Structure 1
Amino acid sequence: MTDNAPPAPAATPWRLVLMLGALTAFAPMSIDMYLSSMPDIGRTLHARAEDVQATLAAFFAGMAIGQFLYGPASDRFGRRLPLLLGIGIFIAASVVCATAPSIQVLIAARFVQALGGCAGAVIARAVVRDKFNHADTARVLSLMTLIMGLAPVLAPQFGGVVQFFAGWRGVFWTLVAFGLLIGLWISLSLAESRSEATAVQARSENPFRAYLALLRQRRLVGYCLAGALNGATLFTYISTAPDLVMGTYGHTPLVFNIIFALNAVGIIGASQVNRLLLRRSTPDRVLVRASIASIIAALLLVAAAWSGIGGQFTVLPLLFAALSTYGLMSGNTMAGALSVDPSRAGSTSALMGGISFGAGALASWAGGLLHDGTPKPVAAVMFACLVGSSLAIFGLAVPKDRRGRMAA
């Protein structure tokens, strides 16, 4: 690897970072705020546990599908219009969630809610690439992770308080208020950032051609797979953590919320370590080293889960370590993907987001399929995802020189 110093970082536009970070919080707010309300939803709507769980699966599906729509639309029509449309859909669907008379209506509304909410994350990443180069994109995305990461820390507790005073329907009314607040902020403060070159490129091809063009680029596919598979560990954790912590280890919901928050703090902390590392290193160099660290953490997690040595006092800290690598890798893989073809930034952001949610859904499904009341399934699935992520980094994403050595 070369040791060329990275360019001096640009001044941090904190107001823009806060706004874009809030846009990426639609998904974690919509997921984490209502997790503790799921039993109450089942009782109120006379639904089985698996039907209530389907409200989460429907949201994941909506997030995966919706991103493929907003990416090309934001390249063709600009960032503001599709973003405001998505927020409007989110608000309307949240109202339906809050007033749902049956579990079937709630499942459908959650799907539509995700179709609207995913606009925030897709277009926020495209706006970052519109305004910054590769290295600065990685730094800004790490700062956005700091803001987005506060949602898993605060949302479960806040959601629990809202549920206590206003029931589970109050949680969805809170999401309505959140959508209205962010929508007003965006309409008043976010300037259009899409370049004319991007618009010309988008008008010259249909969305399918744009995605095919992106999928033909080896490095871009590598960054997408690396980020998606690393992120799939987070989905696996979210879907299995309640059963593992409260079921297998017998902790109370309060302890579960504390553990959930600590893992979110680990991700946030790692994202800020990444921002500091980027002052003297390149995103690709950080990716290579972080991927090696992730494999070590996952291997130790598998060993602890299978051997039983130390029980939860070994498994939970290693789970924390494996999850924290997401903070080191997510911003760098996204920045890398966006740097390959800047004229298709919206479509690239959508492609990476859609693949991430698809990989996450598959990993969550695998974890549920292998469920045996022990930490073995979650450890195995996370290990497989992190190995795949590292293979994508070393085999596809990071460029090599003529001798085949990594030129990160």
Structure 2
Amino acid sequence: MNNKLHGPLFLAILSTLMAFASLSTDIYLPAMPIMANELQGDIELTVTGFLIGFALAQLVWGPISDTLGRRLPLFIGMVMFIIGSVGCALSTDIQQMVFWRVFQAFGACTGPMLARAMIRDSYTRTRAAQMLSTLLFIMAIAPIIGPLAGGQIIRVTSWHAIFWLLVVIGGLMFFSLFALPETLLPENRVKISLANVFRNYSMLLCNREFMRYTLCLTFFYVAAYAFMTGSPFVYISFYGVDPQYYGWLFALNILGVMAMSLVNRRLVLRYPLENLLKVAVTVATIATLTLALVVKLQLGGIVAVVVTIFLFFSMNGVIAATSTTAALDAVPSSLAGSASALIGSLQYGSGIISSLFLALFRDGTPWTMSWIMVIFTLSSITVLLRRGPLPENRSSLN
């Protein structure tokens, strides 16, 4: 294995790539109520549009990366992200904003998708779970800084500056990619045409073990996106939290993710991934049921909401790493790019369900957000419990 794969620079770049999805949305969360007024439309559609683009584009980039390698799609994707961010900054109505958010997503999706694939290329199963936990810990800085930075930006200037900042970040990221090694060796690349490669998705969809863990993660993220999309209106509009302080409440949840990611690095060495995943999803489900109860009965106010959301969101530090590792371990290395693409497509595309539900059923209270989270955490634990243990560990490095 290339020694660069053990270096801090390699991990730093992959962590930043993993953060592109959350960074692209979280940074403008505090500005959403202002943007809704200025752009005259459902601002949730900008999240929906981004997630649609993010989900669909991965299905294209995955097979391409299995054929051409990981680095070239990353370079192309970063250029598209920069162009899309410029378009968002210059948008004057909701239609333009949604279009450029979709375009932005077509580039941004290459980051987390190929970061996961590069980890799968490089490490065995248990080590991969450790590495993903490390990446989740480092990338969690973005959701902390994002809303805080967005809140301060709109305090001194307009929301347009948020997207100009993303242009700068995209440019810096583009140049950092030159330091990233190629992890998919030529002999491990798919040698058939791209048209045939796309047929691999049917194989993945029929792989029950792969889909079990993928759907577990997908349903959890429907609930997570219900909070991420709905929380600005719950905290700012319903509970009256100042937009510049909203970021601190959001950051609290990310601190929980970071803490659990660190804990998970040790836990994966002592306990089966299956057991860790079951416990984490169970805790998340209990948290959302408690959230729905306190909201419905109007108990505890914003403190009760913050505490239960913190407990739910913290479990992402375990669920994301263990479920992703288990799913990728269920497929051969030649399908790692396509498998990572399908995981990412369903994981981030799940937010489309959340944002549409919130737009259709919003009642001005936290209740809609709460029942969406309950339904899909229950779905997550249901699909996880349907079958037995994880497959055997891979025995050697790729």
| TM-score relative to the length of structure 2 | 0.90
Report the number of matched residues. 387
* Aligned ranges 1:386-405 → 2 under 5 Å: 386-396=377-387, 398-399=389-390
Comparing 279-288 with 73-82, greater Cα deviation is found at 279-288
CA distance 1:268–1:214, shift in 2 (3 Å): same
Deviation at 1:122, TM superposition (A): 0.6
SS in 2 for 1:139: helix
Residue 256 of structure 2 is matched in structure 1 by 266
Deviation at 1:314, TM superposition (A): 2.0
Residue 267 of structure 2 is matched in structure 1 by 277
Q: Does 1:126 align with 2:117?
A: yes
Residue 18 of structure 2 is matched in structure 1 by 24
* Aligned ranges 1:211-290 → 2 under 5 Å: 211-290=201-280
Distance 2:205 2:367 in 1: 34
* Aligned ranges 1:96-175 → 2 under 5 Å: 96-175=87-166
Deviation at 1:241, TM superposition (A): 0.5
SS in 1 for 2:159: helix
In the TM superposition, what whole-angstrom CA distance separates every residue of 1:173-217 from its partner, at most 9, and x where no partner exists? Answer: 211111111111112x11111134541366587243110011111
Residue 31 of structure 2 is matched in structure 1 by 37
Tell me if structure 2 keeps the 8 A contact 1:223–1:397.
no
Tell me if structure 1 keeps the 8 A contact 2:155–2:244.
no
Residue 313 of structure 1 is matched in structure 2 by 303
Residue 9 of structure 2 is matched in structure 1 by 15
Deviation at 1:328, TM superposition (A): 1.3
Distance 2:92 2:303 in 1: 43
Tell me if structure 2 keeps the 8 A contact 1:39–1:49.
no
Deviation at 1:330, TM superposition (A): 0.4
SS in 1 for 2:315: helix
For 2:233, give the aligned amino acid: D
Tell me if structure 1 keeps the 8 A contact 2:88–2:100.
yes
Partner residue of 1:206 out of 191, 196, 200: 196
CA distance 1:34–1:301, shift in 2 (3 Å): closer
Distance 1:161 1:312 in 2: 22
Comparing 236-245 with 156-165, greater Cα deviation is found at 156-165
Q: Does 1:180 align with 2:174?
A: no
Distance 1:309 1:201 in 2: 60
Residue 291 of structure 1 is matched in structure 2 by 281
Q: Which stretches in structure 1 are left out of the alignment for 5+ residues?
A: 1-10, 402-408
Deviation at 1:102, TM superposition (A): 4.1
Partner residue of 2:56 out of 52, 65, 71: 65
Tell me if structure 2 keeps the 8 A contact 1:232–1:385.
yes
Deviation at 1:291, TM superposition (A): 2.0
Deviation at 1:61, TM superposition (A): 1.3
In the TM superposition, what whole-angstrom CA distance separates every residue of 1:351-394 from its partner, at most 9, and x where no partner exists? Answer: 01111122221133223433223332222211111111112222
Tell me if structure 1 keeps the 8 A contact 2:204–2:210.
yes
Comparing 99-108 with 56-65, greater Cα deviation is found at 99-108
Comparing 81-90 with 288-297, greater Cα deviation is found at 288-297
Q: Which stretches in structure 2 are left out of the alignment for 5+ residues?
A: 393-398
CA distance 1:368–1:204, shift in 2 (3 Å): closer
SS in 1 for 2:362: coil
Deviation at 1:329, TM superposition (A): 0.4
CA distance 1:160–1:210, shift in 2 (3 Å): same
Deviation at 1:13, TM superposition (A): 4.0
CA distance 1:374–1:85, shift in 2 (3 Å): same
For 2:90, give the aligned amino acid: T
Distance 2:61 2:355 in 1: 25
Comparing 155-164 with 283-292, greater Cα deviation is found at 155-164
For 1:20, give the aligned amino acid: L
SS in 1 for 2:363: coil
CA distance 1:373–1:41, shift in 2 (3 Å): closer
| TM-score relative to the length of structure 1 | 0.88
SS in 2 for 1:200: coil
Distance 1:165 1:204 in 2: 48
* Aligned ranges 1:325-336 → 2 under 5 Å: 325-336=315-326
CA distance 1:53–1:385, shift in 2 (3 Å): closer
For 2:220, give the aligned amino acid: N
SS in 1 for 2:258: helix
Task: Give RMSD over aligned pairs.
Answer: 2.2
CA distance 1:331–1:74, shift in 2 (3 Å): same
Identity of aligned residues (%): 32
